[in-house]
């Protein structure tokens, strides 16, 4: 098993950007968001359970999951959000472990949006948190998802605060919008993780 670095941060904090910078250095990435999309594709067990729970209104015309509709439901209902998490979390975790086990590299970046909220940090050797100013997160989220400010604020408030997240971190990347600073932080951590993985094995 490679040395596992869990990468997390709030919505629109720049997780994908940071993961891409590690990837450019040759580091394998296991992305929980991508796995989460794969496990709810048409004709999967998870999608059949979701359809049974919410009805066929949760599907698009082609039978795929209507992700926008589901997102709207779970960000307005704590109960429904918990139901979805309880269904998908074990399925996603199983697929994650399978992907990590196949990696032949000293370490892996495991990108997990809800790492702390779902108490997943225990599965990693090290936790890397992206710390982004909340006003910048909000601006990015509005631009990225083209949603109302109310929904964006609801999405941000559904997660723990940046300060709470950082309290679990072994390492912190500050992402305040300056790409060059981001690149140098990633390069520094890459060297550090290669050394840590050698010491671990």
Over residues 97-115, the mean pLDDT reads: 94
- Count of residues for the chain? 201
What DSSP letter does each residue of 69-129 carry, written as one string?
A: HHHHHHTS-HHHHHHHHHHHHHHHHHHHHHHHHT--SSEEEEE-TTTTTTT-GGG-SEEEE
Decide if pLDDT at 188 tops 70.
yes
| CATH entry 3.40.50.300 includes domain 1-28+107-201 | yes
Q: How far apart are the C-alpha atoms of 66 and 149, rounded to whole Å?
A: 21
| Domain parsing of the chain, residue ranges | 1-28+107-201, 39-102
Residue-wise pLDDT for 27-70, tens only, equals: 999 999 999 999 999 999 999 999 999 999 999 999 999 999 99
Give binding residues as ranges.
12-17
Please tell me the predicted confidence (pLDDT) of residue 172: 97
Q: What average pLDDT does range 70-91 have in this prediction?
A: 91
pLDDT grade for 146, boundaries at 50, 70 and 90: confident
Percent of the chain having pLDDT more than 70? 100
Asked whether residue 14 carries a pLDDT value surpassing 80, the answer given is yes
C-alpha 50, offset from chain centre: 21
- Sign, CA torsion 134/169/80/85: positive
Distance CA 27, CA 193 (A): 10
Contact present, 193 and 105 (Cβ < 8 Å): no
Cβ atoms of residues 113 and 15 within 8 Å? yes
- Using DSSP's 3-state secondary structure scheme, residue 132 falls into coil
Question: What is the per-residue pLDDT for 201?
Answer: 61
What is d(CA 1, CA 102) in angstroms, rounded to the nearest whole number?
8
- Cα(5)–Cα(17) distance, integer angstroms: 16
Q: Which residue has the higher pLDDT, 178 or 112?
A: 112
pLDDT over 80 (residue 137): yes
CB 23 within 8 Å of CB 103: no
Binding-site residue set for ATP: 12-17
Which residues are bridge partners to 128 per DSSP?
Answer: 7, 171
- For the chain, how big is the Rg over CA atoms in Å? 17
Token pair 């225990």: residue:
122
């Amino acid at each position: 098993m490679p040395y596992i670095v869990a990468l997390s941060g709030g919505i629109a904090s720049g997780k994908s950007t940071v993961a891409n910078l590690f990837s450019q250095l040759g580091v394998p990435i296991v992305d929980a968001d991508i796995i989460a999309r794969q496990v709810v594709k048409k004709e999967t067990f998870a999608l059949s359970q979701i359809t049974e729970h919410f009805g066929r209104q949760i599907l698009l015309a082609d039978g795929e999951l209507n992700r926008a509709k589901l997102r709207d439901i779970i960000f307005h209902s704590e109960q429904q959000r918990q139901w979805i998490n309880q269904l998908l979390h074990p399925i996603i975790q199983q697929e994650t472990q399978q992907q990590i086990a196949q990696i032949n590299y000293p370490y892996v970046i495991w990108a997990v949006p809800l790492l702390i909220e779902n108490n997943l940090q225990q599965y990693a050797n090290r936790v890397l948190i992206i710390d982004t100013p909340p006003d910048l997160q909000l601006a990015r989220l509005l631009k990225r998802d083209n949603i109302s400010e109310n929904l964006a604020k609801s999405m941000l408030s559904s997660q723990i605060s940046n300060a709470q997240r950082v309290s679990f971190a072994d390492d912190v990347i500050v992402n305040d919008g300056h790409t060059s600073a981001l690149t140098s932080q990633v390069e520094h951590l890459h060297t550090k993780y290669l050394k840590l993985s050698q010491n671990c094995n």
